[in-house]
Structure 1
Amino acid sequence: MGFLSKLTQACTMGLPFLPEDTCAKAPQVAGIKVQLETFELWQQFDQLGTEMIVTKAGRRMFPTFQVHITGMDPAAEYVLLMDFIPVDDKRYRYAFHSSSWLVAGRGDAAVPGRVHFHPDSPARGAQWMKQTVSFDRLKLTNNLLDDNGHIILNSMHRYQPRLHVVLVDQRKDSQLTAHRNFCTFSFTETRFTAVTAYQNHRITQLKIASNPFAKGFRTTDSDTW
């Protein structure tokens, strides 16, 4: 836990997440590749304008952020974590007459930046690569006073999820090379607008149709959705 607590502190300070490709990466991370799972589903949502519910208690994402990772050193240990950055500094509103999102003004003050550690972290590269990595325990909230570790977001703002793969380096001077020991991945298809209730009815329909946990809401008559 010493490494994780040190990494958490580094994340809070904005390290080691420097701009990508500012220098050569460590060989254990230089060849890592990440593929977004259920890409077609994410693409369907993206074409409609993905919305994710945020609640005071915290709500899981759907689609779930899942990836397949290759190129790790099988024997090395890695920590996987996610954060969410604003796409821009604007606040949005949904115009029902035109079924589109419009800029409503400047964005609200930045909320506390948090990261979500995958619960299997740290683990060897061989373990991460052998199966799909799912961030299904991650929850989104709009509660600024949340003490459950959920990701805090502003409603009606747009966000880009990011995945960070961090090499575990136990050397005492590891902070000197921290910028070489991580790589960051993001997929534009996973961008979304945080909402407290779905605005676009087509998003509601697609979530009900594709989310296995929403089967109780399904009906054979799509007009009743």
Structure 2
Amino acid sequence: FISTPCCFFHFRRMFPAMRVKIAGLDPHQQYYIAMDIVPVDNKRYRYVYHSSKWMVAGNADSPVPPRVYIHPDSLASGDTWMRQVVSFDKLKLTNNELDDQGHIILHSMHKYQPRVHVIRKDFSSDLSPNKPVPSGEGVKTFSFPETVFTTVTAYQNQQITRLKIDRNPFAKGFRDSGRNRTGLEAIMETYAFWRPPVRTLTFEDFTNMQKQQDTLFPSSDQRFPLQR
């Protein structure tokens, strides 16, 4: 996953999809894996073409209802989760605040941070697509700064437009196999076998996110796997 604009209108699958590899779970315990996407700050942004930069354009829009994407392979054992790459390629985003399909609702031209949640079964009683993720020692939350993205309804950079059309499997309607390749397309061909990197969630991530960890896990017990 690289930090790029994410385009949506009505609803879209998030691309590139976030993929993680999980380690350190109890193989015999049952877990849910979920994702939510939270604002990075309280600002709205605009793209400045002459400098090719995102600039603050004002205050953020009003908060939207919280949505949580529960991975469709949930509920599964720790052993099952650790033997696979967990992909969120079916997660869909929308800017429709009246959405009733369970898609993640986001504002356009705002910055967001995806978060991955590992939730032990006995702490999942309040888990719901329409509620904030429950808290407790059986819930661990991970976020990675390289996954921050800005939402748009139209890409602001033509190179990003071409990159995503060429690499997004759901953008086939935009591709023309018979066209002449441009210089940019020749460069993009070097990424023909590119896939988003996989991040492994381990105890080491906690040491790199101490400030976040103190907020999420006030308990002094920071051990992983998630055991009583």
Q: Could you tell me the TM-score, scaled by structure 1's length? A: 0.71
Partner of 2:122: helix, strand, or coil? coil
Alignment partner of 1:59 is 2:12: yes
Distance in structure 2 (CA, Å) of the matches to 1:118 and 1:220 = 40
Alignment partner of 1:202 is 2:159: yes
Q: Give 1:164's match in structure 2, choosing from 102, 112, 117.
A: 117
In the superposition, relative to structure 1, how do residues 119 and 220 fare at CA in structure 2: closer, same or farther (>3 Å)? same
Instruction: Give the CA deviation at 1:170.
Output: 7.3
Q: Which moved more, 1:199-208 or 1:182-191?
A: 199-208
Distance in structure 1 (CA, Å) of the matches to 2:106 and 2:76 = 28
Q: C-alpha deviations, 1:144-175, integer Å up to 9, x for none?
A: 00000000000000000000000111799xxx
In the superposition, relative to structure 1, how do residues 170 and 182 fare at CA in structure 2: closer, same or farther (>3 Å)? closer
Which amino acid in structure 2 is aligned with residue 83 of structure 1? D
Distance in structure 2 (CA, Å) of the matches to 1:221 and 1:168 = 51
- For structure 2, list consecutive stretches of 5 or more residues without a partner in the other structure: 126-133, 186-228
Distance in structure 1 (CA, Å) of the matches to 2:151 and 2:101 = 19
Does the 8 A contact of 1:76 with 1:125 survive in 2? yes
Does the 8 A contact of 1:208 with 1:214 survive in 2? yes
Which amino acid in structure 1 is aligned with residue 144 of structure 2? F
In the superposition, relative to structure 1, how do residues 221 and 74 fare at CA in structure 2: closer, same or farther (>3 Å)? same
Instruction: Give the CA deviation at 1:127.
Output: 0.9
Structure 2 residue aligned with 1:100: 53
Partner of 1:169: helix, strand, or coil? helix
Instruction: Give the CA deviation at 1:120.
Output: 1.2
Identity %, equivalent residues: 55
Instruction: Give the CA deviation at 1:204.
Output: 1.3
Q: Give 2:88's match in structure 1, choosing from 131, 135, 143.
A: 135
Distance in structure 1 (CA, Å) of the matches to 2:116 and 2:34 = 6
Q: Which moved more, 1:212-221 or 1:62-71?
A: 212-221
Q: Give 1:85's match in structure 2, choosing from 7, 18, 38.
A: 38
Partner of 1:161: helix, strand, or coil? strand
Partner of 1:179: helix, strand, or coil? coil
Instruction: Give the CA deviation at 1:110.
Output: 0.6
Counterparts of residues 1-225 of structure 1 (less than 5 Å): 42=1, 45-46=2-3, 50-56=4-10, 58-169=11-122, 179-214=136-171, 217=175, 219-222=179-182
What is the root-mean-square deviation in Å for CA atoms of aligned residues? 2.3
Misfit runs of 4+, over 6 Å = none
Instruction: Give the CA deviation at 1:207.
Output: 1.5
Distance in structure 2 (CA, Å) of the matches to 1:170 and 1:92 = 37
Distance in structure 1 (CA, Å) of the matches to 2:139 and 2:145 = 20
Decide which structure has greater helix share: 1
Does the 8 A contact of 2:123 with 2:139 survive in 1? no
Does the 8 A contact of 1:54 with 1:153 survive in 2? no
Distance in structure 2 (CA, Å) of the matches to 1:159 and 1:88 = 8
Instruction: Give the CA deviation at 1:51.
Output: 0.6
Instruction: Give the CA deviation at 1:178.
Output: 5.2
| Residues matched between the structures, number | 174
